[in-house]
Amino acid sequence: MKYKRILLKLSGESLMGSNKYGIEPERLTQYAGEIKQVVEQGIQVAVVIGGGNIFRGIQAEKIGIDRVQGDYMGMLATLINGMALQSALEQLGVYTRLQSGIGVQQVCEPFIRRRAVRHLEKGRVVIFGAGTGSPFFTTDSAASLRAIEIDADVVIKGTRVDGVYTADPEKDPTAERYHHISFDEVYAKNLNVMDMTAFTLCKENNLPIIIMDMNKPGNLLKLIQGEDVGTVVTV
């Protein structure tokens, strides 16, 4: 296997499936099954999941809520998604721990780096909730930061598209997928991979990013097994 320890970044919106908000049970079960397949290969898996299917902090000011308050509301939304994914994984027999960047001791552990690494070494999936624990940072940034902290080999960003394209593939049928691209090329071409803070963190720490379609069954396992899935971004 090319990777020993991965951090999987999932968007909250992806959990909606065909719904307009909330969590679609079928999509949640699919994601849990994909993760289980990888764990069964002996890969250590950490997960960061967004909260956009419930609440996005950036929306707060539009409805008269202070941005900082709104960001904390978004962090709580990621914990709800984390709890749902934890439950789905455990129903499949996968040992899981949920850690939070803010204190919510009744439902999960606090984020403690050494404890997280120990869980991973024991074969447990670790879900990191509540982002970085601070406002003004996205869950993309949380994914990059946690990946660096636990010494992950790669950040895998599961999206609705199967990689980074020369243009928006949903709008431009001639758009072509990059199989491999450098951080500098992404900057130069102004391509949308992750938010700039998250992206720069990965570049400065020489941490590869892979963008792939998480909604296609079996894709995550294929990627782990070395197949040409998604777009790889490296130095």
Q: What b-and-e string marks burial along 87-97, b requiring 16 or more CB atoms within 10 Å of the CB?
A: ebbeeeebebb
Per-residue pLDDT of the chain (235 residues; tens, 9 = 90+): 789 999 999 999 999 988 888 999 999 999 999 999 999 999 999 999 999 999 977 778 788 999 999 999 999 999 999 999 999 999 999 999 999 999 999 999 999 999 999 999 999 999 999 999 999 999 999 999 999 999 999 999 998 888 999 888 778 889 899 999 999 999 999 888 899 999 999 999 999 999 999 999 999 999 999 999 999 999 8
145-198: pLDDT as tens digits: 999 999 999 999 998 888 999 888 778 889 899 999 999 999 999 888 899 999
Q: What is the pLDDT of residue 58?
A: 73
Q: What is the pTM of this model?
A: 0.94
Distance CA 55, CA 155 (A): 24
Pairing assessment for the beta strands 154-159 and 209-213 based on DSSP bridges = parallel
* Structural domains in the chain, sorted by start: 9-234 (3.40.1160.10)
Contact 90, 37 (CB under 8 A): no
Q: What is the pLDDT of residue 9?
A: 98
Q: What is the pLDDT of residue 59?
A: 77
Q: What is the pLDDT of residue 173?
A: 86
Distance CA 199, CA 121 (A): 27
